[in-house]
Every structure is written in C-alpha cells, then in structure tokens.
Amino acid sequence: MKNYARVFQGTAFTSLSPNEVAILEDHLFCINDDGMIEEVVAPGASDYEAIVQAYQDTEIFRRLAKGQYLLPGLVDLHVHAPQWAQSGTALDIPLYDWLNTYTFPLESRFADITFATAVYEEVVGTLLANGTTTALYFATIHREASLRLAEICAAKGQRGLVGKVVMDEPEQNPDYYRDADTASALADTERFILEVKRLAKSTKQGVYPVVTPRFIPSCTDEALRGLGELAAKHDTHIQSHCSESDWAHGYVRDRYGKHDAFALHDFGLLGDKSVMAHCNFLDDNDADLFAKTGTAISHCPLSNAYFANSVIPIARWHAKGIEIGLGSDLSGGFSPSLFDNARQAVISSRMLEDGVNHAVPAAERGVPNSRITIDEAFYLATAGGGESLSLPIGRLAEEFAWDALIVDVSVPGAKLPLFHEDESLYDIFQKIMYLIRPEHIREVWVQGENVHARR
Ligand code: GUN
Ligand code: FE
C-alpha cells in the first residue's frame, strides 16, 4: 500500500460525460502529497479493507458523516471579479449602456489598490463559499490590482486564472478607463504574465495569467495581434467575449465583415487554451472553427437571459465536439453560485426547445432537441469546465486534483427534503443540484487542501 497524504471515505457524485453521472457509493479517495487523487477504491476491491484498517485511526482519514456527500469543486469559466461590487443591480438596460453607465465607472476605481483589495478579498471568499474551486477571472485594465487578485487567489487557495483586461481602442472606451496606448497595454500584459508565473511557483494549486482582450470593440487590431503573439510566446490561456449581444456582434461584422470567431482566429486568439464567453451568435461555420481549434465556450445562462435574450444550443455544439463549461459572468449574471447557473441552464434550454410564445402558432415554436438535463448542467459546471481549461480538474477520479466539496443535506434549519430512508442516491443528487445553498457546502478542498469550512 502506498503512503497517502489523506484518505476520504464517502459517497461521491462525479460526471463521466454530459449524460452520465457516476454515483460512487462509499468509495475511498486516496490523495497524494501533490493534492492529486492517486487511487479511487470501491468497496469490495482487494485493498479496500486494508486501506481502511491502515488509516482509520489516523488524523488523515476522513469518514463522511450521514447526510454528507462529495462533489467535484466547481469551475467558473467566466467571472468579472471587480463587478462583484455591483452584483444584483443595474440589469434593466442593454449591454452597451450598462457598460458605459455602470461598469466602466466601477472598474475605473480599481486604480485604487485599497479598494481593489477589499472587493477582491470578498469575491474570492464568496466564490469559494459557493463551491467554486477554479475561476477564470477578468480583472480590470490595472496591472497592479490584477496582480493583487492573483495574490488573493494564491493566499486563499483558489485556483485562479486571472486576466489583466486590455482596452486600448480610443473611440470605444472612455477617456477615464482605457489603456494609455497600445504599446503600454501590451507591455503591461507581458509584465503581468511574468509576475503571475512567478507567483504561481509559491502555490500548490497554481494561479495562471490569462491574455484578456475585453472584446473586439474595446481593442485595436494592433493590440489584438500583439495579444495573440504574447499568448503564443508565453503559452498562456486566452479569454474574451465572443458574439455576445446584438450590438457587439453587429459591431464586429461592420468592422471586419465577418463574425467574432473568424476575426479572433485571424489574430491568433483561438486555440486549445482559449475560452470564449457567451457565443450567442455562433453559426455552424463559427462552431466548426471552435471545434477545429479546440476553443471552448463559457456558457453564461443567467447573463445571456439579461443581455442577449438568448439561449445557446448546448446539445448542438456538443455534437460538434466543442468543449463547453459554465460561467457566472458576474455581474451580468447576478449570482456568484454556479449551482444557480446550472439550474438556469436547464430552465433556459427548455424555453429554447418549446417556450410558449402566444404570438406564434404552436407548430412553429422553439428548437427541437434543445433541452438539457440537470446531469448535463452538472457536467458543464465541473468536468466540462476542466476540459475547457485543459487542466486535470472537475472530476473525482484518479489523476485529477482533489478539488472537492463536502455537502451536507441535513444542516439544521436548512434540511433538504429527504423523508424516506430508501431515497435513491440519484434522487439525492438531483435535490442537491436544485436546492443546495452555501450553507450546505460544509467544506471546500482545492489540490488536497481545505480552503473553506462552515461549522
Ligand atoms: N462585453 C464587454 N464587457 C463585458 C462585461 O463586462 N460583461 C458582459 N456581460 N459583456 C461584456
Ligand atoms: Fe462577461
């Protein structure tokens, strides 16, 4: 038997594919010194009893209590950390107005490192408490404050992928909130990449720099090209907004005579480590390009309902082989919870399939075969996010990081509705997915370390 750093014994739910949830009843999860899952052992396997005997009286053994279950940590593929400060407000105007009236003024305040630190401390803590163990963040244009966000992720133990946002286009961005010029936007980005890579060496879970053109309208061609080159030179992840709203989509068509996907590709911004948020206006050619380049989609169902009046066809893009994960898009999406977004993904998909529109005859309603299940939404929030980032996260399986949630369905005052002893584990899984709140998330683990506990 190997030496393990920790051994957990309990029942876990983990996604195998969009349509398959594995229920691992009373399994052992053996974690090594690097925080990776070295072995998953089923009851009845030859070494199961031996491992229990060897570890059960030690401090590193953990038997989950009755009512407790393991889930993989959640992967948020699109979150604007500074916008936590305005979450829950200002969602009744279109994207363009929202950016200029609320969002750019707020983000400009992150020049103040004290203000930035206060907001970033809270948003990272809030996301962890909601079960998000990995987050792909947009920060702001400010290099120093963006680095502070990465430092806070490092200190709190969250796997943060952080982008200093680039906005250098003089016509499209306000004077008070844009990069001074293209050269400084690129120089700041490169310095930021090197600083985060240095910081990452001091962490167990990893923090990562992300090349981040906000969206095509906010950047000059020179910046977009330079960012593609920087991402290739330093082998970083890339993120942006792609074909999000009528306005943004139309702007790119007017500027280049093509869709965002092809424009981004021209600048070297698509690839296996690229994650594009929203993608509401993707057509089949765009989708084929995503599949061919390995570019992933961050599906943001709450935000898409507000800013794009849109539902993307998950099943159709999965059939093309595109990797898809889930994004909260704070604060375009009002909730920091990926569980809320998973629920919305299911609800929105049902509206797409057959939503009632009294102006349209029943026979002309909706898009057939669009609905997704809660199992598929679980996949998006976990395994799909891990695949999109090309990181070994999002599954409770061997050779994946021990990023895990211990949820408790019998928290006093917040019990989930479980009234009979023989409730199936699959029913319990569904109730967790639909009803869980932060108070049920008792512990959060990242890379083998306990980073959040609620007693
Ligand atoms: N497009 C450009 N910037 C943003 C942003 O901050 N949020 C959303 N939802 N879309 C954007
Ligand atoms: Fe966004």
Ligand 1, residue 303: give the atom nearest the CA: 9
CB 297 within 8 A of CB 305: no
Q: Nearest ligand, CA of residue 307?
A: 1
Ligand 1, residue 329: give the atom nearest the CA: 9
How many angstroms separate the CA atoms of 241 and 219, rounded?
12
Cα 43 to ligand 2 centroid, rounded to whole Å:
44
Q: Kindly give the pairing relationship between strand 20-31 and strand 37-41.
A: antiparallel
Q: And the tokens for 44?
A: 């009845």
Q: In 3-state terms, what secondary structure has residue 398? A: coil
pTM: 0.97
What is the DSSP secondary-structure string of 177-244? Answer: SS-S-HHHHHHHHHHHHHHHHHHHTT-SS--EEEEEE--GGGS-HHHHHHHHHHHHHHT-EEEEEES-
pLDDT along the chain (455 residues), means of 10: 94 97 98 98 97 97 97 98 97 94 98 98 98 99 98 98 98 97 98 98 98 98 98 98 95 98 98 98 97 98 94 94 98 98 97 78 79 97 98 98 98 90 94 97 98 92
CB 250 within 8 A of CB 216: no
**All CATH 3.20.20.140 domain ranges in the chain, comma separated:** 74-389
Ligand 1, residue 332: give the atom nearest the CA: 9
The predicted-structure confidence for 389-429, as pLDDT tens digits, reads as follows 999 999 999 999 999 999 999 998 999 999 888 899 999 99
Q: In 3-state terms, what secondary structure has residue 274? A: strand
pLDDT for 368 equals 83
Q: In 3-state terms, what secondary structure has residue 101? A: helix
CB 396 within 8 A of CB 29: yes
Q: Is the CB of 303 under 6 A from ligand 1?
A: yes
**All CATH 2.30.40.10 domain ranges in the chain, comma separated:** 6-72+396-453
What DSSP designation does 307 have? I
Residue bearing the CA closest to ligand 1, atom 11: 241
ipTM: 0.99
CB 188 within 8 A of CB 163: no
Q: Is the CB of 99 under 6 A from ligand 1?
A: yes
* CATH number given to 74-389: 3.20.20.140
Q: And the tokens for 52?
A: 């229990």
The gap between the terminal CA atoms of the chain, to the nearest Å, is 33
Q: Is the CB of 249 under 6 A from ligand 1?
A: no
Q: Which CATH class is domain 6-72+396-453?
A: mainly beta
Residue with tokens 């917040």: 414
How many angstroms separate the CA atoms of 344 and 279, rounded?
17
Cα 276 to ligand 2 centroid, rounded to whole Å:
10
Q: Which residue among 77, 84, 99, 264 is best mutated to probe the pocket of ligand 1, counting the most ligand atoms within 8 A of its Cβ?
A: 99
Ligand 1, residue 107: give the atom nearest the CA: 6
